Amino acid sequence: MTTPTHTRGIAVLGSTGSIGCSTLDVIARHPRQFRAVGLTARGNVDRLFEQCVAFRPRVAALLEPAAARELRSRLDGAGVDCEVLSGPEGVAEVAAVGDADTVMAAIVGAAGLAPTLAAVRAGKRVLLANKEALVMAGAVFMDAVERCGAELLPIDSEHNAVFQCLPAGFRRGLEHGGVRRILLTASGGPFRTTPLERMASVTPDEACAHPNWVMGRKISVDSATMMNKGLEVIEAHWLFGAAPDRIEVVIHPQSVIHSMVEYDDGSVLAQLGNPDMRTPIAHALAYPERIPAGVERLDLTRIGTLSFEPPDLVRFPCLGLAYQALRRGGGAAIALNAANECAVERFLARQVRFDRIPVVVEEVLDRLPEGRADSLEEVFATDEHARRLAYGILDRLAA
């Protein structure tokens, strides 16, 4: 490992979530190589306060103004010199802060799009853990990466695995590197073998009990419906320039192989590791170097067997809907994401059944008029329209 010539400044957007906390864990293991210079959260004052005390960032931001005022007061009382900002503008300012050359984009959902774009437009190295940025605004986002000289590194374990397995010149087109297919692996979540008649009575706690990964509640529900994998298919399309028929999903319950790349000569390259997000985080933070991440070593003799099966689209209709939205283009992927966010929100609040999530998404896609999404204004207009449709459908289902 090469000794770093300077300490890299890191801004962590969504620092109090699971990806943010794992990022700070890796940073703490390498204080000579990385320094957290900016942190943001939605409203978790307690955890952000603890992080500011531990990492002493130059600036922090909370989306909720009242929470920002509380944080400012508590940091002043603790003698911590840290500028505190608030609102979407404050979060975007942290994303573009001058002394951060790297930005971890880990804000969940559509709320992460604007600050992630701010980091891209500032020409940062962006570690992308927010898949909605590409799902909602893939063309706009990738155009900004190109124009602004930003560097984009994927953090999702699947896309990071694909990135590690692709040839160096893949951005010129997969065909130039002899790539035939991208194989995204999926665990199948907690309901891979659950009887279909049980799906209507699934509880939020059951949906969030992922067998292999520790994640936030929203992404855990997406994993349980396999919408998460559908969003990853759309993300892979934009990240790697892959057509829908070159992206295949394979159920792999052990979550040891994180994804694979198949080449024209018949070779299949895979990236393996224990299911711990610190591995892709450390890979992207130090890229192209390799650093310890605090992850337990993989013992294949203890695992013994690796198994694979095709996804069941009757059990997991959200995956099929994602492919449908990707092929349709325009604003379909935006509507897919928005409707899903609304439905998952109501499911977690116990206001709609688990098996109604794909029903809501499909109806929104069916009712959404054809349209373009070539600008942020069009993206947000489609997102707002889809959410109105979704909430109307959810209100009808709850009546």
Report the alpha-carbon angle 79-82-88, nearest 5: 140
Domain shared by 379 and 307, yes or no: no
Q: What is the pLDDT of residues 323-362, one digit of tens each?
A: 999 999 999 999 999 999 999 999 999 999 999 999 999 9
Domain shared by 305 and 161, yes or no: yes
1 in any annotated domain: no
282 in any annotated domain: no
Q: What is the pLDDT of residues 14-34, one digit of tens each?
A: 999 999 999 999 999 999 999
Cα-based distances in Å from 298 to 16, 192, 258: 28, 24, 13
**Overall number of domains in the chain:** 3
294 in any annotated domain: no
- Name the nearest CA neighbour of 214 among 184, 185, 255, 177: 255
Quick one: pLDDT at residue 67?
96
Residue at a domain's end among 154, 172, 193: 154
8-state DSSP, 356: G
Report the alpha-carbon angle 352-134-288, nearest 5: 125
290 in any annotated domain: no
Q: List CB contacts of 197: < 8 A, sequence separation 6 or more.
A: none
Residue at a domain's end among 94, 126, 154: 154
Residue pair 234/325 in contact (Cβ under 8 Å)? The answer is: yes
Domain shared by 18 and 133, yes or no: yes
Lowest mean pLDDT among 364-368, 374-378, 391-395: 374-378
Residue 110's SS3 state is helix
Domain shared by 242 and 122, yes or no: no
Q: Is the pLDDT at 157 greater than 80, yes or no?
A: yes
For the chain, percent of residues with pLDDT exceeding 70: 98
Task: Give the pLDDT band of residue 374 (cuts 50, 70, 90).
Answer: confident
Task: Give the pLDDT band of residue 261 (cuts 50, 70, 90).
Answer: very high
Q: What is the pLDDT of residues 340-351, one digit of tens each?
A: 999 999 999 999
CATH code at position 142? 3.40.50.720
Residue 317 CA to residue 199 CA, distance in Å, equals 12
Cα-Cα-Cα-Cα torsion 336, 339, 342, 348, nearest 10 degrees, comes to: -70
199 in any annotated domain: yes
Residue at a domain's end among 154, 174, 206: 154
- Name the nearest CA neighbour of 216 among 41, 339, 4: 41
Average pLDDT over residues 4-10: 81
Over the chain, what is the mean pLDDT? 94
CATH code at position 383? 1.10.1740.10
Residue pair 40/12 in contact (Cβ under 8 Å)? The answer is: yes
Quick one: pLDDT at residue 5?
57
Quick one: pLDDT at residue 1?
46
Residue pair 15/41 in contact (Cβ under 8 Å)? The answer is: yes
Residue 319 CA to residue 322 CA, distance in Å, equals 5
Q: What is the pLDDT of residues 40-91, one digit of tens each?
A: 999 999 999 999 999 999 999 999 999 999 999 999 999 999 999 999 999 9
What element of type H or E holds 7? none
Quick one: pLDDT at residue 77?
97
Instruction: List residues bridging with 248 in a β-sheet.
Output: 183
Quick one: pLDDT at residue 210?
79
Domain shared by 246 and 303, yes or no: yes
Domain shared by 162 and 311, yes or no: yes
The encoded tokens of residue 305 equal 């067997």
Q: Is the pLDDT at 4 greater than 60, yes or no?
A: no
Domain extent at residue 137? 8-154
293 in any annotated domain: no
- Give the pairing of strands 247-251 and 257-263: unpaired
The encoded tokens of residue 161 equal 């695995």
169 in any annotated domain: yes
Domain shared by 75 and 176, yes or no: no
Q: Is the pLDDT at 124 greater than 50, yes or no?
A: yes
Instruction: List residues bridging with 263 in a β-sheet.
Output: 179
Q: What is the pLDDT of residues 241-250, one digit of tens each?
A: 999 999 999 9
Domain shared by 19 and 68, yes or no: yes
The encoded tokens of residue 270 equal 């895979």
Task: Give the pLDDT band of residue 172 (cuts 50, 70, 90).
Answer: confident
Domain shared by 124 and 144, yes or no: yes
Domain shared by 113 and 170, yes or no: no
Residue 298 CA to residue 281 CA, distance in Å, equals 17
223 in any annotated domain: yes
What element of type H or E holds 11? strand 8-13
Q: What is the pLDDT of residues 271-328, one digit of tens each?
A: 999 999 999 999 999 999 999 999 999 999 999 999 999 999 999 999 999 999 999 9
Domain shared by 172 and 308, yes or no: yes
H-helix segments, the chain: 18-29, 45-55, 65-78, 87-95, 113-121, 132-148, 157-165, 204-207, 217-225, 227-240, 278-286, 300-303, 317-328, 332-348, 357-367, 376-398
Task: Give the pLDDT band of residue 209 (cuts 50, 70, 90).
Answer: confident
Residue pair 257/307 in contact (Cβ under 8 Å)? The answer is: no
Residue 179 CA to residue 263 CA, distance in Å, equals 4
Domain shared by 368 and 395, yes or no: yes
